[in-house]
Structure 1
Amino acid sequence: MASLAGVDDWSKYTSAPVPGNAEHLLNAASGVIRTYVEWSISREIIVDARIDAPGGTLLMLPTLLLVDVAAIAVDAVAVTDFDWSEAGMVERAVGWPRGFRRLTVSYTHGYETVPDEVKSYTVAVASAAAASVAGKVQESIGDWSATYATVERVFGSMGKTILNRYRRFAA
């Protein structure tokens, strides 16, 4: 899966110099962000995902921006009597069965172009991690001590307000 921001985005969102490991840092920041929001954000085509059947009439796909549902099968039998919303909900009037791995779903979701605020945040997290002393998390000499940034540490300390509107489940 592609990074939420590319090396070419670095200079658009920060004046910090582009480090040699910028691509790695952007990939790491993207992973931390995707873990937090619980979906990919960027455009992704999912083919034949095995999904647990919830029972009831409503199925929630793991997305906040559903673009298309190409196919759904229940116990390997194709069904077409469903409707879906951009919010990732798939409704079926006769209901979904209940049970693990009973649904196979092919769908497209995510933003075709990652929103600028998400790109900016990705670069900010990666840039802050790049500014830290490589390989060190914390050091102390006498009464003096310093804690350095890692992608995970920077992400945790920066405000998540921007990302909360992209998060599947609010904190």
Structure 2
Amino acid sequence: MPETYADLATVLLAWPGLATGRDPIEQQAIVDDANAAVRDFVDRDLLMAERTEVLSGRGTARLWLSVKPVLSVDAVSLWGSPIDGGPGEGWDFDPDSGCLVRGRRLSAVRFGPKWPAGFRNVSVRYTAGYDAVPGAVRRATILAARALHAMAESAGPYKSESLGDWSYTQADSKPFLRDAAGLLLPYRRVGV
């Protein structure tokens, strides 16, 4: 059975440092905030699901699906009319990059038909995502939860403060993602 973000939350809530002396509602809030921050950073859902995406053709040979890895492309329609031929005939795709081409010429797209230019004129129904939260994303979420936990323990939004001629340095707004960002970069949605 595919893992869910709720499964990851259960793992985080079992972490002894988070569970010790903390209100259960506050614990859940830290976990929810860490999960939300990671999802916001990667700007896409990572777990396997069937999706329908509406794209705008640009008169080019390639379109890019937003969720990878792509397991299957089940239906493609252009201006509401299905493209006949099915996978490998009417269209082809690269599972790793999410590249979708018309026809069956993934290896030589410059010779194949183009996606006509238009606003939201291509609809794609496909299955994509990971069966389980990838290890690096799991680790990044744990790092984010631990940093949020530590921030809740600290006194205020300051990195440093002095008293004579009073000065202060404000802490980063989301320092908990600084350590996690390197782990998350390979999973982040990149605009095309």
Which bracket does the TM-score occupy, shorter chain normalised?
A: 0.7 to 0.9
Q: Specify every segment of 5 or more residues in structure 1 that has no aligned partner in the other structure, as ranges.
A: none
Q: Structure 2: how far apart are the matches of 1:50 and 1:36?
A: 22
The structure with the largest strand share of the pair is 1
* Corresponding residue number in structure 2 for 1:65: 69
Instruction: Determine which of 77, 83, 88 is the counterpart of 2:81.
Output: 77
Shift of 1:148: 6.5
Asked whether 1:158 is paired with 2:179, we answer: yes
Shift of 1:64: 3.0
Q: Specify every segment of 5 or more residues in structure 2 that has no aligned partner in the other structure, as ranges.
A: 103-111
How many residues were matched structurally? 165
Asked whether 1:52 is paired with 2:56, we answer: yes
* Corresponding residue number in structure 2 for 1:9: 11
- Tell whether the 8 Å contact from 1:55 to 1:98 is kept in structure 2 after alignment: yes
Bigger CA radius of gyration: 2
Shift of 1:144: 7.8
- Tell whether the 8 Å contact from 1:43 to 1:111 is kept in structure 2 after alignment: yes
Shift of 1:129: 0.5
Q: Structure 1: how far apart are the matches of 2:168 and 2:16?
A: 28
* Corresponding residue number in structure 2 for 1:118: 137
Asked whether 1:131 is paired with 2:150, we answer: yes
- Tell whether the 8 Å contact from 1:39 to 1:62 is kept in structure 2 after alignment: yes
State the 4+ residue runs in structure 1 displaced beyond 4 angstroms: 134-137, 143-150
Q: Structure 2: how far apart are the matches of 1:89 and 1:4?
A: 30
* Corresponding residue number in structure 2 for 1:88: 98
Shift of 1:76: 0.2
Shift of 1:78: 0.5
Instruction: Determine which of 15, 26, 43 is the counterpart of 2:48.
Output: 43
Instruction: Determine which of 99, 121, 124 is the counterpart of 1:102.
Output: 121
Shift of 1:160: 2.1
Q: Pick closer, same or farther for the CA change 1:110–1:27 going to 2, 3 Å.
A: farther
> Aligned AA for 1:84?
F
- Residue identity over aligned pairs, in percent, reads 19
TM-score (norm 2): 0.70
Secondary structure at 2:121's aligned position in 1? strand
> Aligned AA for 2:181?
K
Q: Structure 2: how far apart are the matches of 1:137 and 1:98?
A: 52
TM-score (norm 1): 0.78
Post-superposition CA distance 1:74-111 (Å, at most 9, x none): 10000130001112111113221111111111111110
